[in-house]
Structure 1
Amino acid sequence: MSRWLPSLIPLTFLVFLAFPVGAFLNTPRSLAESGQFWSGVAVFLAAFGLWLSPSPSPLRPLLSFGGALLAYALTVGVVGFAASAFPIYAASFGADQTNGRRAAPLVAACVGLLLLGPGGALAQLPNAFFAVLGALGNYGLAGQREAALALERAQAEQERLAADAERERIARDLHDLLGHTLSVIVLKSELAGKLVQKNPERAAEEIREVERISREALTEVRAAVRGYRGSGFASELARAKVALDTAGIRLSITDALPPLPEGLESTLAMVLREGVTNVVRHSGARELRLSLRQERGGYALVLHDDGRGGHAPKARA
């Protein structure tokens, strides 16, 4: 339930809709008044849904603002003072953007509309205060949201540039590593082919040389690939943190990581990779706690998340 809470919080703002709806239901209404009032409520709910949408369009706050004011126009003649909730909503919607110069006139228009509305300026002062307060809150949240998006874009661009640089480095290393060797292999193979009939012994010698060079190249390539994989536990832990951050899961390391024997690092790295993959894909967690402890007879790697959990047979090692 806790992981759904952030997405449900904005829906609590609908509680203020109880004021116009309560005022409408408190008095018998004609069919025309009912149609007019509920049309206004429907327009407002559409504006509210648009405000909740993740659309980055600059028209989103403007359309939500306009919908809330249209709802006010449709309901104020039916419920009077109670319809003041809609300009308060409109001020919040209009301020949900990072452009302060564009947001300020929208909020000012809502405040003016409230002060000139039913009940008079004195009675509407608390509503005007709430309108300004809600607008400031949404304006601040919009700024935080934009900053978070800018940070995500910067991180994504940094990761892309790092990946491009790594690909270029690998391509350059492989070219330096294999370019000359493969050229020698091709030349010696061609020479051996020409000498098969004329000088079989020399051809066999060239073939043996090709085999030797090929084996040396294979050894060098394997060593290079091991370096690219970065199979150490620390490297895998860094990759795991990137994957968890991308999935919105916080990684907490509860103990200081002990030094690991060289032969054990790659094994624990694979265990960590598999465990983190399962957490990201299936757990729905918000936090993953990791501990690695040296115990009698070996090491214990423990991953504990706060997700849904499940039932599976216990693994034996």
Structure 2
Amino acid sequence: MLFWGTLVAFVAVYVFTFGKRDPDDRWAYVGWLSALLMWALGDWLYGPSALSFLVYGGSLIGWQRRQWVALGGAAINALLMVGRLLTLPERSQGDFIFLLFILASAYANHATYRGLRARRRLAQVQLEKEKLAADAERERIARDLHDLLGHTLSVIVLKSELAGKLAEKHPQRAAAEIREVERISREALSEVRAAVQGYRGSGLAAELARAKVALDAAGIRLVITDTLPELPADLESTLAMVLREAVTNVVRHSGASELRLTLRGQANGFQLTLQDDGRGGDAPEGTGLNSMRERLRAMGGTFERDGHTGTRLQAFVPLSAGTAGLKAPELLEKTS
């Protein structure tokens, strides 16, 4: 009963050490010492068959960031195994192969541990860079809006007040002031539109570059199946937003190792297809995908999602989308 009780405890430590989401060196030492204890106890109770615990101990001590400690602990286990084998009246050369298992498992787990920590650090750095970029973008937008509209709106207010005062005694001057207010307002509207166009991003190519950085950080390979066609500016902006939202979902939820992207031109528009090899499923769509579906629907496009084999997203944008979502004054201005 003593052996079996301690064996259950050792298995729990072993599973917990390798199953922790955030690896911790201290559990490598706990697991290693537990394996030595299990070997000593098993050797006392059952004999040489307990030597396998030294192999498990080598595997556990390797699960940490210090290479010299990992290999040193594995070497101690190997020496203990050699010493025990030399005391046996009968042994074979095959028994010494376990020495290689001890050293190899320690080194392999050490390399895996460091790789895992490196990917975690890379992902954390990427999140911090995205946060800093978002903060900088918000500051830029606030600064630009202040520069664009602060002075202009002040002038509009002053001229509107002046026109109101002149309306009864000098209607012609009041009308001139109102026309000036209209001119200034149109100029401000053009400047705001130009600024908003800049905020929408630098196109699909730039969004692809950002997507590749995010996917690489998550260990997901991006495969572009065809040469990307030239897109009208309005459609390019929309498909870039679809790509951004899709990549965010793939990184956070899919568990995929590969994402395949296809963008093809059709007679009446363009279709973007994104297929990953992740877990798929029919989980409810979040705010991002719902918003994208509504945006495409308002433009006369479609958005489809299939979760049977991984997740497949298809977004179709018609060529008429450049004018489909405009309000009446904008549409008149665009066609005049």
Instruction: Please report how far the alpha carbon of residue 199 of structure 1 lies from its aligned counterpart in structure 2 after TM superposition.
Output: 5.8
2:74 is aligned with 1:107: yes
| C-alpha distance in structure 2 between counterparts of 1:102 and 1:149, whole Å | 22
Letter paired with 2:116 = R
Counterpart pick for 2:105 among 115, 119, 134? 134
Give the structure 2 partner of residue 39 of structure 1: 5
Instruction: Please report how far the alpha carbon of residue 225 of structure 1 lies from its aligned counterpart in structure 2 after TM superposition.
Output: 0.9
Give the structure 1 partner of residue 188 of structure 2: 217
Specify every segment of 5 or more residues in structure 2 that has no aligned partner in the other structure, as ranges: 281-306, 319-336
**Is the deviation greater in 243-252 or in 82-91?**
243-252
| C-alpha distance in structure 1 between counterparts of 2:178 and 2:116, whole Å | 66
Letter paired with 1:98 = R
- Report the 3-state secondary structure (helix = DSSP H, G, I; strand = E; otherwise coil) of the residue aligned with 2:47: helix
**Is the deviation greater in 195-204 or in 173-182?**
195-204
Instruction: Please report how far the alpha carbon of residue 137 of structure 1 lies from its aligned counterpart in structure 2 after TM superposition.
Output: 1.4
Equivalent pair of 1:91/1:107 in contact (CA under 8 Å): yes
Larger helix percent: 1
Instruction: Please report how far the alpha carbon of residue 254 of structure 1 lies from its aligned counterpart in structure 2 after TM superposition.
Output: 1.0
Change in CA separation of 1:77 and 1:46 when aligned onto 2, cut-off 3 Å: same
Change in CA separation of 1:298 and 1:217 when aligned onto 2, cut-off 3 Å: closer
Equivalent pair of 2:82/2:96 in contact (CA under 8 Å): yes
Equivalent pair of 1:231/1:265 in contact (CA under 8 Å): no
Instruction: Please report how far the alpha carbon of residue 46 of structure 1 lies from its aligned counterpart in structure 2 after TM superposition.
Output: 1.6
TM-score, scaled to structure 2: 0.68
1:39-62 per-residue CA deviation (whole Å, 9 max, x = no partner) reads 221122122112212233331211
| C-alpha distance in structure 1 between counterparts of 2:107 and 2:243, whole Å | 45
Equivalent pair of 2:61/2:106 in contact (CA under 8 Å): yes
| C-alpha distance in structure 2 between counterparts of 1:37 and 1:118, whole Å | 22
Letter paired with 2:52 = A
| C-alpha distance in structure 2 between counterparts of 1:156 and 1:295, whole Å | 37
Letter paired with 1:144 = G
2:84 is aligned with 1:117: yes
Give the structure 2 partner of residue 250 of structure 1: 221
Q: Matches of residues 220-299 of structure 1 in structure 2 within 5 Å?
A: 220-230=191-201, 232-238=203-209, 240-241=211-212, 244-245=215-216, 249-262=220-233, 264-266=235-237, 268-269=239-240, 272=243, 285-295=256-266, 299=270
- Report the 3-state secondary structure (helix = DSSP H, G, I; strand = E; otherwise coil) of the residue aligned with 1:116: helix
Change in CA separation of 1:57 and 1:192 when aligned onto 2, cut-off 3 Å: farther
Q: Matches of residues 10-49 of structure 1 in structure 2 within 5 Å?
A: 35-49=1-15
Q: Percentage identity across aligned positions?
A: 53
- Report the 3-state secondary structure (helix = DSSP H, G, I; strand = E; otherwise coil) of the residue aligned with 2:12: helix
Instruction: Please report how far the alpha carbon of residue 119 of structure 1 lies from its aligned counterpart in structure 2 after TM superposition.
Output: 5.8
**Is the deviation greater in 244-253 or in 37-46?**
244-253
Equivalent pair of 2:159/2:181 in contact (CA under 8 Å): yes
1:229-277 per-residue CA deviation (whole Å, 9 max, x = no partner) reads 1274334444554565566543210111122244543454466567657
Give the structure 1 partner of residue 290 of structure 2: none
